[in-house]
């Protein structure tokens, strides 16, 4: 019998290993609160304000861009989430099936660097929030305290993360709505709706930032659904994740837009919210302090699992557990504190550069992973081979995936518009950054055609008994109603 939530250990024992059926627990609706609660945080508030602060869009232009980015980006994020119950392994481990056991390290390293960067950015906001609440506490001391709180949550693991986000869904959701109501009731500036203007380049840049917020969860979103029983409806997993993440992040993004216009002249959106909310400001800071510590535990958790995956690649017989998670968390904690100290004086511009660079490297991986799971292998993987020293049937390197990934990055370069690098086709497009769209449109068909041909030649097909994710052969998003009534499909890719 599957374990119930009460029977599951309070402190998570697994790290990157497969979660067996008798240890699966939880409900699909927990994914809604998981992603709604974790998204109400200062960092999406800061990101949402960039539409008006950095790209100088009007209020309505910024709102439209945010909605488009969230609605589109969340599709990819939720499709990754739906993989979790089918496979029961972390997302980065599953990437070995596409890139090979050693080839996947390229993606794992990128993911680890990304989450360490986000962790460092978030603890800066935690330090500022704590300093705002208690001015006697220096920002650097607040950064350390915020980092330690996130590390404790990460060490306890999966169940505590889900529990805290159930609380956050109600507390932070109501808190940010009340805070916004107070800001509006106290009066908006006269030029609130006339400030800024629509420009295609600025609007598209805001769409990209909004979409990236969702895409940035892709390398670890299934880590928080992998404990669900494999019998849960995949479509339900998708929609619970989609609406939880989409609604949860849209709320602070829109709040950031309001604060960016209501408190002109300041780059510190959190401090602007505190000031604009008047007497409710300290409550806002207290809520943000809780939210950033809670949210940042996910970034640390993702970074830790990625680093453990890197180590395990070279020590295949190693099965890391709770102790390993604690040790690696401590190492990441020290490194992130050093990064946070360096970034704290120029946070906004550093963060913009970080997320725009991440967009370039995340898009082709997302395309390859989703095409492979849903269209090439249809959710069937030999889980044992994912942990094999030689990569099993997936090998150490998969030239098809790695070459497709390189192509996906290369085709984006002419369209990239960042302060670090600007491609030659940006100016003819009016300064708009179309790199992410080009990356998706090129990588997906290139990989599908190439990988499909390779699969038909044999070597990666699995039988139902070899894969925990084997099912009746129907597409994962529509198979649920007939799972128990139909016979197993013949082995195919």
Measured CA angle at 92 (ends 444, 481), to 5 deg: 70
Predicted confidence at residue 9, as pLDDT, reads 65
Residue ranges covered by each domain of the chain:
28-347
Q: How far apart are CA 255 and CA 273, in angstroms?
A: 9
- pLDDT for 471 equals 36
Interval 395-417: pLDDT, tens: 899 999 999 999 999 999 998 88
Q: Coil, strand, or helix at residue 109?
A: helix
CA 300 – CA 332 distance, rounded (Å):
8
Number of C-alpha atoms within 13 angstroms, CB side, residue 15?
Answer: 26
| pLDDT reported for residue 480 | 38
Integer Cα distance of 156 and 287 in angstroms: 22
Tell me the fold of 28-347: Hydantoin permease (1.10.4160)
DSSP E strand boundaries for 291-373: none
pLDDT tens across the length of the chain (493 residues): 444 444 566 666 777 888 888 888 788 988 999 899 888 888 888 888 888 888 889 999 999 999 999 999 999 999 999 998 988 888 888 898 999 989 999 888 888 888 887 788 778 877 877 887 788 888 778 888 888 888 888 777 777 888 888 888 888 888 889 988 998 888 888 888 888 889 888 898 899 889 888 988 888 888 888 888 888 888 999 999 999 999 999 999 999 999 888 887 676 787 788 788 888 888 888 888 888 888 788 888 888 888 888 888 888 877 777 787 788 888 888 888 887 776 666 655 566 666 667 778 888 999 999 999 999 988 888 888 888 888 888 889 999 999 999 999 999 999 888 777 888 988 887 677 788 889 999 999 999 999 888 776 665 666 555 554 443 333 333 333 333 333 333 332 2
Q: Could you count the other beta carbons within 10 Å of the beta carbon of residue 282?
A: 13
Q: Distance between CA 285 and CA 280 in Å, rounded?
A: 9
Strand partners, 422: 417
Instruction: Give the model's pLDDT for residue 325.
Output: 78
Structure tokens at 284: 């806002």
Nearest in space to 92 (alpha carbons), one of 369, 446, 389? 369
Q: What is the pLDDT of residue 60?
A: 95
**pLDDT confidence of residue 399:** 92
**Number of separate helices (H) and strands (E) present in the chain:** 18, 0
Global confidence as pTM: 0.83
pLDDT at 487: 35
């Amino acid at each position: 019998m599957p374990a119930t939530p009460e029977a599951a250990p309070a402190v998570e024992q697994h790290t990157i290993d497969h979660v067996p059926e008798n240890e699966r627990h939880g409900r699909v609706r927990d994914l809604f609160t998981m992603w709604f609660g974790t998204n109400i945080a200062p960092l999406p508030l800061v990101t949402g304000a960039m539409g008006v602060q950095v790209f100088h869009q009007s209020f309505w232009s910024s709102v439209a861009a945010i909605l488009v980015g969230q609605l589109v980006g969340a599709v990819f994020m939720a499709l990754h989430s739906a993989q979790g119950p089918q496979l029961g392994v972390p997302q980065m481990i599953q990437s070995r099936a596409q890139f090979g056991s050693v080839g996947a390290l390229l993606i794992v390293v990128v993911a680890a660097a990304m989450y360490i960067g986000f962790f460092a950015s978030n603890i800066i906001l935690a330090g500022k929030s704590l300093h705002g609440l208690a001015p006697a506490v220096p920002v650097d001391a607040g950064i350390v305290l915020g980092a330690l709180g996130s590390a404790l949550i990460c060490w306890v693991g999966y169940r505590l993360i889900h529990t805290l986000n159930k609380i956050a869904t109600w507390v932070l959701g109501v808190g940010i709505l009340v805070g916004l109501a107070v800001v509006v009731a106290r009066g908006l500036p006269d030029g609130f709706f006339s400030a800024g203007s629509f420009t295609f380049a600025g609007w598209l840049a805001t769409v990209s930032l909004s979409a990236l917020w969702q895409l940035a969860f892709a390398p670890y979103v299934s880590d928080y659904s992998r404990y669900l029983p494999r019998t849960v409806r995949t479509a339900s997993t998708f929609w619970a994740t989609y609406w939880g993440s989409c609604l949860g992040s849209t709320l602070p993004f829109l709040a950031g837009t309001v604060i960016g216009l209501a408190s002109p002249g300041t780059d510190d959106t959190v401090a602007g919210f505190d000031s604009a909310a008047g007497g409710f400001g300290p409550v806002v800071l207290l809520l943000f302090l809780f939210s950033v510590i809670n949210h940042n535990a996910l970034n640390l958790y993702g970074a830790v699992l990625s680093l453990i995956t890197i180590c395990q690649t070279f020590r295949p017989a190693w099965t890391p557990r709770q102790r390993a998670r604690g040790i690696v968390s401590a190492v990441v904690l020290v490194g992130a504190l050093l990064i946070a100290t360096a970034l704290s004086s120029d946070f906004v511009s550093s963060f913009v550069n970080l997320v725009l660079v991440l967009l370039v490297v995340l898009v082709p991986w997302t395309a390859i992973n989703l095409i492979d799971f849903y269209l090439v292998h249809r959710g069937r993987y030999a889980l044992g081979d994912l942990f094999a020293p030689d990569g099993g049937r997936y090998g150490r390197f998969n030239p098809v995936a790695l070459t497709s990934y390189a192509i996906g990055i290369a085709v984006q370069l002419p369209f990239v518009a960042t302060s670090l690098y600007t491609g030659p086709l940006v100016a003819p497009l009016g300064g708009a950054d179309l790199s992410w769209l080009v990356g998706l449109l090129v990588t997906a068909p290139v990989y599908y055609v190439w990988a499909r041909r390779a699969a038909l030649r044999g070597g990666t097909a699995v039988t139902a008994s070899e894969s925990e994710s084997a099912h009746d052969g129907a597409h994962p998003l529509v198979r649920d109603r007939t799972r128990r009534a139909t016979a197993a499909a013949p082995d195919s890719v």
